[in-house]
Amino acid sequence: MRALKIILFVLVATAGVTMAQRWGGRRGWGGGEGWRPEYETCKTAREVPSHSTGTPNWTNEPGFEQDVFTFARIRRDRARPGSYSAGHWWTDFPDSDLNLSFRVQQVTSMKVDPDGRVIRLTDPDLFNYPWIYMVEPGSLQLREEEVPILRDYLENGGVLMVDDFWGPVQWEVFRREIQRVLPKRSFVQLDITNQLFHCVFDLKGPMNRLQTPNVGQGIRSEHDHVTWEIHDGEECKDMSVNVIYDDKGRIMVLAVHNCDNGDGWEREGESDYFFHQFSEKRAFPLGINILFYLMTH
């Protein structure tokens, strides 16, 4: 009976995670956590409790607290109507931000802010952060006043990374909003031979070998070998990394499509299989490569 109860608990928990991810943050736990008041007031990732298995703590040398890389997550509005499965800006927060930050400091020469930041595009501090992050951009809605600010940020050296959006419907929502910001520029899909994929970890192709799904699907993939998700009625099988360059060939926008790196960062402690197959082999190496490449180019 005890063994049966454990099996049922695992099945229910796995189903809960899957539904939370599938419904893009409307209910559930972790990435599917419902709205909380502190989401709209917090300035750092440390102000919100962990939604997973806890996050690491570390400090930097006295006097160098500001001379560090900072994970800067953008607080934003959600488009309606749009993709029914696209989530909110706080998906995977705060664990993904803090876990990736720790891993970057652990395996590279970069020093990283142990707290992270949460800001709106209208925040005067925006230009203090050379890298900003948006999750679930398949629900992105930019305010009119945010469009010229983001354009100035990107054209003056900043870079936007987006992650965890799936299928053509969510891609079109995101593409449409970025066209408002950079109307004369188009996305270019990176090939696995690009230096970005080899600057810290030597990542091998094909590109789908780097695909990370939500944790529920990731755990099931041990048996069904499916690493993609279904959104808006589409099987989103093909992962891609897409960028917009400036006139000098510098990346301004980087979009990881049909992939959920955030779950790979956030959920690293929840499943031994998920950690070794996705967090360790895919999500962390790709995230670290992206950050290191962008901060050195």
* β-pair partners for 135: 163
Residue 32 has a pLDDT of 47
pLDDT of 79 > 50? The answer is: yes
Residue 15 has pLDDT above 50, yes or no: no
> Taking the domain 2-296, which CATH number applies?
3.40.50.12140
pLDDT at residue number 34: 66
Indicate whether 45 pLDDT > 50.
Answer: yes
Distances (CA, A) of 56 to 53, 98, 196, 238: 10, 7, 27, 33
Burial of 107 (0-12, 13-18, 19+ CB in 10 A): middle
What is the 8-class DSSP label of residue 2? H
The confidence score (pLDDT) of residue 37 equals 85
Share above pLDDT 90 across residues of the chain, in percent, rounded to a whole number: 80
pLDDT at 125: 96
At residue 12 the predicted structure's pLDDT band, cuts being 50, 70 and 90, is: very low
Task: Please calculate the CA angle 69-71-74 and round it to the nearest 5 degrees.
Answer: 140
231 vs 18, residue with greater confidence: 231
Beta pairing partners, 162? 134, 255
Angle at 185 between CA 139 and CA 129, to 5 degrees: 65
Per-residue pLDDT averaged across 103-112, rounded? 94
Taking the domains of the chain in order of start, what are their residue ranges?
2-296
Query: In the structure, what pLDDT confidence band is assigned to residue 83 with cuts at 50, 70 and 90?
Result: confident
Tell me the average pLDDT across 160-173.
97
At residue 80, the pLDDT reads 77
Give tens-digit pLDDT for 176-230. 999 999 999 999 999 999 999 999 999 998 999 999 999 999 999 999 999 999 9
Write 64-69 long-range contacts (CB < 8 A, 24+).
Answer: 64/111, 65/113, 67/111, 68/110, 68/111, 68/112, 68/113, 69/101, 69/104, 69/110, 69/111, 69/112, 69/113, 69/131, 69/291, 69/295
Mean pLDDT over the full length of the chain: 89
Q: Whole-prediction pTM value?
A: 0.87
